[in-house]
């Protein structure tokens, strides 16, 4: 199976979000058919900023070509359908026959740099699909510090005009309490 990136129908949106303290949180129900993807691009403040929120796998779309995946990453603003260097994380799901705990998929979190999974986080494979996965990405104009649960990693990234990109493919992923807040 492959991870779908850059193929299919894209829904691109931009939301004006306050970047000051008390910024309103958003919810994004990213629900895509098999072999398609959806992309939400959110503006980021100038200078350092932090993105926090949660992601949860709700459903898998049947596909023999692609695995369901969700990504949250910092990247440079580009025209729809174009890509640039990016850093953040991925949540993938592999369908399986029912496991002893009743789960029908194995999910996995991984660090993600420029569309390539750097390294999977073993603890995430034991999380039952539907488990809420909290995340935090902090950008300082040269690095993205990613925190998933208790795991953290710093990834190098220099984004000319940084934005926050949320992508999902071949399934339904619910993003909640997403807030982008300017740093110090």
Q: How far apart are CA 45 and CA 76, in angstroms?
A: 13
Residue pLDDT, tens place only, 60-79: 888 888 889 999 999 999 88
pLDDT at position 147 is 96
CB hemisphere CA count around 122 (13 angstroms): 0
pLDDT over 70, % of the chain: 82
Q: Which class would CATH give 2-182?
A: mainly beta
pLDDT in tens, 82-110: 788 999 999 998 877 766 666 667 788 89
HSE of 153 in the Cβ direction (CA atoms, 13 Å)?
A: 18
pLDDT per position as a tens digit, 13-44: 333 333 444 568 999 999 999 999 999 999 99
Instruction: Report how far residue 95's alpha carbon sits from residue 124's, in angstroms, rounded to the nearest whole number.
Output: 15
Per-residue pLDDT, 176: 97
Q: Residue ranges of the domains in the chain?
A: 2-182
* pLDDT at res. 179: 97
- Edge to edge, what strands does the sheet with 86-95 contain? 37-43, 162-169, 69-76, 86-95, 105-113, 116-121
User: Whole-angstrom Cα distance, residue 174 to residue 70?
Assistant: 9
Token duo for residue 49: 């900023």
pTM: 0.82
């Amino acid at each position: 199976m492959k991870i779908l990136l850059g193929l299919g129908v894209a829904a691109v949106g931009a939301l004006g979000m306050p970047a000051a303290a008390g910024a309103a949180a958003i919810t994004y129900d990213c629900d895509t058919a098999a072999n398609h993807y959806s992309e939400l691009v959110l503006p980021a403040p100038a200078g350092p900023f932090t993105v926090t929120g949660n992601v949860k796998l709700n459903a898998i779309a049947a596909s023999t070509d692609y695995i369901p995946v969700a990504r949250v990453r910092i990247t440079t603003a580009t025209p729809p359908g174009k890509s640039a260097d990016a850093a953040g994380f991925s949540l993938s799901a592999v369908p399986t026959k029912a496991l002893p705990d009743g789960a029908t998929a194995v999910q996995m979190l991984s660090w993600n740099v420029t569309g390539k999974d750097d390294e999977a986080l073993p603890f995430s494979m034991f999380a039952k699909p539907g488990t809420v996965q909290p995340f935090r990405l902090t950008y300082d104009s040269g690095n993205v510090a990613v925190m998933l649960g208790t795991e953290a990693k710093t990834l190098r990234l220099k984004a000319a005009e940084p934005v926050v990109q949320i992508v999902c493919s071949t399934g339904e992923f619910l993003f909640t309490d997403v807030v982008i807040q300017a740093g110090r």
